[in-house]
Structure 1
Amino acid sequence: MKSLLLLVVFPFAAQADSLVATRTLRAETILAPADMMLVAQAIPGALEDPSLALGQEARVTLYAGRPIRAADIGPPAIVDRNQIVALHYAGGGLSILTEGRALARGGVGDVIRVMNLASRSTVSGRIGAGGEVSVGAMGAMP
């Protein structure tokens, strides 16, 4: 006698927690524990772990009760728009250090555009931990 395997699939999705804002937060606000809470609802794209958002900066306005998505937050900005920054190029045994003007705000690891003050040319570079911007082979690579 042959045995029959019966597989029952329930149409209910597994419940997951989603992270939402507890109040309206303006862009450039650093997220604190009181600014977010977990709700027992699976919201597509929403973060599920509060530790991923804690201490991060809101890149856009976050509205109360709305989900906090990874694209809505990022590392706190350490470079402001129009700030003078050290511009560093290293590649092929050559190292150049000069000054530039940041054309955008950004945090560690962000790629921003910077105007070289000596040549007035615009380059893209990655912000380092000390606020310097690295350009070239290793600096602006995503």
Structure 2
Amino acid sequence: MIRALVLILLLPLSAQAGTLAAARTLPAGTVISATDLRAIDSARAGLSDPSQAIGLQTRITIYEGRPIQANLLQAPRLVSRNQLVRLSFLRGPLRIEAEGRVLGDGAAGDLVRVMNLDSRSTITARVMPDGSLLAGR
């Protein structure tokens, strides 16, 4: 009797209703929208709230029907390696602007290495939400 009761209590936990899955194959780098998601019943762990996935970018390809897990997603990359960007340096009232080449990918708030194209020196700058880079703070 006790075994049957334990089995009945554990049974509902074996399948998660409403797990989010890919509605189509999502290549690496895809920014997820509501049309890319569908709810499925799955024994595999995954996100259940669409707001946890919408607006994020896939790290790897997620195939159609596969549950979407948080570790497969990242903040959208605003700058990519070798991209030319506007680089601003701020220190008090001083503001210097230059053109730079990003040496790695970065999302808003990330610190990335940038080469100043005029001086050829490498500095660290923060990626701003508009995709510009800010150094000196």
SS of the equivalent of 1:40 reads strand
**Which letter does structure 1 place at the counterpart of 2:62?**
L
Structure 1 window deviating more from structure 2 (72-81 vs 62-71): it is: 72-81
Alignment match, 1:27: 28
**Which letter does structure 2 place at the counterpart of 1:19?**
L
SS of the equivalent of 2:51 reads helix
Alignment match, 1:86: 86
In structure 2, C-alpha distance between the alignment counterparts of 1:43 and 1:113, rounded to whole Å? 38
Instruction: Please identify which structure carries the higher helix content.
Output: 2
Instruction: Please identify which structure carries the higher strand content.
Output: 2
Structure 1 window deviating more from structure 2 (17-26 vs 74-83): it is: 74-83
Partner deviation per Cα, 1:3-59 (whole Å, 9 max, x = no partner)? xxxxx8744538453221122111222323232112233533x22211222233323
Alignment match, 1:68: 68
Judged with a 3 Å threshold, the aligned counterparts in structure 2 of structure 1 residues 71 and 97 are, in CA distance, closer, same or farther, namely farther
1:46-125 matched pairs, under 5 angstroms = 46-91=46-91, 95-125=95-125
Confirm or deny: 8 A CA contact 1:62 1:68 kept in the other structure: yes
Judged with a 3 Å threshold, the aligned counterparts in structure 2 of structure 1 residues 41 and 97 are, in CA distance, closer, same or farther, namely same
CA shift for structure 1 position 101: 0.5
Confirm or deny: 8 A CA contact 1:22 1:64 kept in the other structure: yes
Confirm or deny: 8 A CA contact 1:32 1:54 kept in the other structure: yes
Partner deviation per Cα, 1:113-140 (whole Å, 9 max, x = no partner)? 3222233233333211222112344xxx
Q: How many residues align?
A: 129
Question: What do you get for the CA RMSD once the two structures are aligned?
Answer: 3.0
Confirm or deny: 8 A CA contact 1:17 1:42 kept in the other structure: no
Unaligned runs of 5+ in 2: none
Identical residues among aligned pairs (%): 43
Partner deviation per Cα, 1:62-121 (whole Å, 9 max, x = no partner)? 112222223323344333432221223345776543221112344333433322223323
Unaligned runs of 5+ in 1: 1-7, 138-142
SS of the equivalent of 1:61 reads coil
TM-score by length of 2: 0.69
In structure 2, C-alpha distance between the alignment counterparts of 1:42 and 1:113, rounded to whole Å? 42
